[in-house]
């Protein structure tokens, strides 16, 4: 599995690992959505109302870019009551990105209300096996 939910006293700590930076961003997004509505992104929903949203993010560095990207997805998820399971990057470098996020508007209540995506402990790095990894802490 590309993401794992780890213990945190009050909030949720997610560890993400992927073979590329783009994949890391995509898996972190799916990991966040797994917290919001478990199992949704691994199922197929033929009747769901599709939602697409263009996003642009600019940040101080790559780790901040991931957090700011997730904050952007969280915002759209909350105002559209949607779960975003896919992302297509038109541009992604160390401090900026342009992408289209794709998902479903959902009827059911979210399982978890993420207040915010925090920068705490987030640090994107390549591990000894060459895979990209980071931790993300969500305020619940």
Q: What does the binding site for other proteins look like in residue numbers (CB under 8 A)?
A: 5, 7-12, 59-60, 64, 68, 71, 75, 78-79, 81, 109-113, 115-122, 137, 139-140
Cβ–Cβ under 8 Å, residues 24 and 133: yes
d(CA 83, CA 76): 9
Smallest separation, CB 94 to other proteins (Å): 15
Closer residue to other proteins in complex, CB, 43/129:
43
Closer residue to other proteins in complex, CB, 59/98:
59
Closer residue to other proteins in complex, CB, 98/131:
98
Sequence-distant (6+) residues with CB within 8 A of 67 are: 59, 117, 118, 119, 122, 136
Smallest separation, CB 130 to other proteins (Å): 26
Cβ–Cβ under 8 Å, residues 92 and 25: yes
Smallest separation, CB 114 to other proteins (Å): 9
Sign of the Cα torsion 46, 112, 26, 75 reads positive
Give the residue carrying structure tokens 């909350």. Answer: 78
Smallest separation, CB 49 to other proteins (Å): 16
How many other CB atoms sit within 10 Å of the CB of residue 105? 12
Closer residue to other proteins in complex, CB, 20/56:
56
């Amino acid at each position: 599995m590309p993401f794992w939910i780890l213990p945190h006293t009050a909030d949720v700590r997610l560890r993400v690992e992927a073979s590329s930076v783009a994949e890391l961003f995509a898996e972190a997004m799916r990991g966040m959505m797994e917290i919001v509505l478990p199992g949704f992104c691994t199922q197929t929903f033929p009747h769901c109302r599709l939602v697409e949203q263009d996003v642009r993010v600019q940040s101080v560095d790559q780790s901040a870019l991931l957090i700011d990207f997730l904050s952007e997805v969280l915002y759209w998820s909350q105002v559209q009551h949607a779960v975003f399971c896919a992302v297509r990057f038109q541009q992604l470098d160390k401090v900026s990105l342009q992408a289209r996020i794709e998902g479903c508007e959902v009827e059911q209540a979210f399982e978890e209300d993420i207040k915010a995506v925090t920068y705490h402990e987030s640090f994107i790095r390549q591990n000894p096996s060459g895979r990209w990894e980071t931790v993300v802490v969500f305020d619940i």
